[in-house]
Amino acid sequence: MKNLSNSNRRSFIRNAGIIAGASLIIPKTFANSNDKKEKNNLFLNGQGDGFYTQKIGNKEITVISDGSLYFPDGFFAQEAKESQLKKIASKNGFLTDTTSVQVNALVIKDSNGVTLIDAGTSKGIYDTVGNFLTNFKKAGFNTSEVDRIVLTHLHFDHFGYLFDKEGKAVFPNAEIILSETEYNFWNNGSPNLSNVTADQGTKDFFISSAKEVIKNMKKQFTVKNDGQEVAPGMRMIAAPGHTPGHFAVEMEGFVYLADTFVHPWLHLPHPEWSSKVDVDPISVKASRKRILDKVSHENILVAGAHANFPSFGRIAKNGKGYDWKEIPFEW
């Protein structure tokens, strides 16, 4: 992880509101080995710096890291007391003046082609995210082979590489799929962000960036609703609250949670806490409980857009909250 001094972190908070910080995991065997054969085997097995592949049923699912974002304390837990946040920070070993989350996207390859779920953050928004496209290519994919892009919601860290600066599609052959509710909300003249407690500049950025993507999509997209297939063998599970049309994606043996929880150390033990950018905090909590109860009861493999890379794990019920159970990773 890129190291920033406490003074630098506070300076970034004052000047930017949201801090970006890199957090890409490099396998120890890769970092320490001089054996070319060993290095090559890592990549043949589908693992590497910034990407990780897991075979689930008939699907090959690759998590692509975009980097990490840093936020001031309380950004993800506006109902929490400062003493609670400091206790959690100390317990988990992260700095007490910032809270970080990683940013991930998925590439799913099966007999129906290549499906991308979310598309990272545009280069240049923050200095330590925007690595999605580099890591996508490093994992052996090319932009022309993507058949469809499923957008779980229209936030900047999920659609960043849909279009380049000129508005040209980065993935020229891909159909774009999103929630009808989500499209209608952001396409409205004045999206209602009255329950969002982030500063006005952040609100304006969310609105302008979503509207820019909608403009670039023109009419070349498909809208779906709860329970419908967003791609062959992949079903939408509506999870409104973070945004009105936010959703998770369910397939055989696996659920992609997207932003059902944004910060694993905060929202899992305290599912009653909401983020300052949640459009409807009450709905966030209801959606989170419904989906996390489901995946914990079924003990199903999950991944999250902001879970620690490489993101795969399981959810276990623990009292009124939940625990994150990482699975063994093979590097």
Interhelix angle 200-217/180-187, rounded to 10 degrees, is 110
Residue 97 burial by CB count (10 A; 0-12/13-18/19+): exposed, middle or buried?
Answer: middle
Longest CA–CA span in the chain (Å) reads 58
Tokens found for residue 157:
């860290």
Q: Are 145 and 190 in contact, with CB atoms under 8 Å apart?
A: no
In the chain, what are the domain boundaries? 6-326
- For residue 110, which of 256, 257, 231, 250 has the smallest C-alpha distance? 231
CA 44-50-51 angle, to 5 degrees, is 45
The span from the CA of 43 to the CA of 65, in Å, is: 16
97 or 290, higher pLDDT? 290
Q: Does domain 6-326 have CATH number 3.60.15.10?
A: yes
Which of 77-86, 95-104, 300-309 shows the lowest per-residue confidence on average (mean pLDDT)? 95-104
pLDDT over threshold 50, residue 2 = no
Q: Which of the four pLDDT bands, split at 50, 70 and 90, describes residue 74?
A: confident
Residue type, 174: A
pLDDT over threshold 60, residue 266 = yes
Helices (H), the chain: 6-16, 28-32, 36-44, 82-92, 132-138, 156-159, 180-187, 200-217, 264-267, 281-298
pLDDT at 33: 33
pLDDT in tens, 271-305: 999 999 999 999 999 999 999 999 999 999 999 99
pLDDT at 159: 97
Kindly give, in sequence order, each residue whose CB lies less than 8 Å from that of residue 87, ignoring residues fewer than 6 positions away. none
227: left (phi over 0), alpha (psi -120 to 50) or beta: left
The span from the CA of 66 to the CA of 160, in Å, is: 10
Strand, coil or helix: what is 224?
A: strand
The span from the CA of 246 to the CA of 264, in Å, is: 18
Average pLDDT, the chain: 86
Q: Are 61 and 301 in contact, with CB atoms under 8 Å apart?
A: no
pLDDT in tens, 186-213: 999 999 999 999 999 999 999 999 999 9
State yes or no: cis peptide before 310, omega within 30 of 0.
Answer: yes
- For residue 116, which of 54, 181, 177 has the smallest C-alpha distance? 177
Tokens found for residue 77:
């837990």
pLDDT at 28: 30
DSSP states of 62-118 as a string?
A: EEEEEEEEEEETTSS-TTS-HHHHHHHHHHHT--TTEEEEEEEEEEEEETTEEEEE-
Neighbours of 167 (CB within 10 A): 13
pLDDT at 173: 96
The span from the CA of 258 to the CA of 115, in Å, is: 15
Which residues on adjacent β-strands are paired with residue 163? 169
The span from the CA of 280 to the CA of 248, in Å, is: 17
Which residues on adjacent β-strands are paired with residue 248? 237
